[in-house]
Amino acid sequence: MTTRYLASIQSMAEALLIEHQLPDILDMKNPATGALGAMSITEVTEIVRRINGRCLTSATVGDLAMDATVISEALNAMSQSRVDYLKIGLFDDPDLEDCLEALKPQLKQLPQPVIAVLFADQISDASLVPTLAACGFAGVMLDTASKRGQRLTQLWSKTALENFVLQTKQAGMLSGLAGALKFEDITALRPLNADYLGFRSALCDQQQRTAALNPDRLEQLRLALAA
């Protein structure tokens, strides 16, 4: 199985910088405003038009409270960009279960599939995956909420990550692994057969997620995945 990858950009300028070496999924977010900070709908729309189907696209809708009304409004708004996938972070919160139940009708009505993002520094296993499948999510990505802490491979064991991927696939959803991943993590993660590995900081100058994306690093990633 070929390991596909997601690369996150924060602007049209970065999209133009890498448009001749596009990833499998071009993800759009604003890292300056949170783990899943949202870019403006206008800019996301412009990037989607520029890419014009040359690769898949995704966009986050922001670090939001676990309130179904707030999340629904954000999903509806970003849906207008015609991005291929919408992504919403599900933070550890007492209201999460009620929020997910209330989101079910909305997820069925949206024209795009929605990816749930769970945070490996807030949960310890994949027990929420069946619930997410029942709610109508199209996929689950495991990420990290704190961008100053440990990376994914330091937070969860290989066995736990393997179980996450297996449960997600058995539920009929896409699986993704991200969270301050470095190129050296590819060797350990590739055998798990996640649908996608997600990268941002490893592609940036000084490996800082809010710094500028470096196209040379993107080429290095492509070669590392192909090795």
If DSSP codes are grouped into helix, strand and coil, which group holds residue 2?
A: coil
Could you give the CA distance from residue 61 to residue 75 in angstroms, rounded to a whole number?
Answer: 6
- Which contiguous run of DSSP H or E holds residue 100? helix 96-109
Q: Taking a C-beta distance cutoff of 8 angstroms, is the pair 179, 142 a contact?
A: yes
Could you give the CA distance from residue 41 to residue 78 in angstroms, rounded to a whole number?
Answer: 6
29 labelled catalytic: yes
Q: Taking a C-beta distance cutoff of 8 angstroms, is the pair 88, 60 a contact?
A: yes
Could you give the CA distance from residue 36 to residue 39 in angstroms, rounded to a whole number?
Answer: 9
Q: Is 23 exposed, middle or buried (0-12, 13-18, 19+ CB in 10 A)?
A: buried
Could you give the CA distance from residue 188 to residue 124 in angstroms, rounded to a whole number?
Answer: 19
Q: Tell me, what DSSP letter sits at residue 182?
A: -
Could you give the CA distance from residue 120 to residue 222 in angstroms, rounded to a whole number?
Answer: 25
Q: CA nearest 48: which of 72, 73, 80, 24? A: 80
Catalytic residues: 29, 87
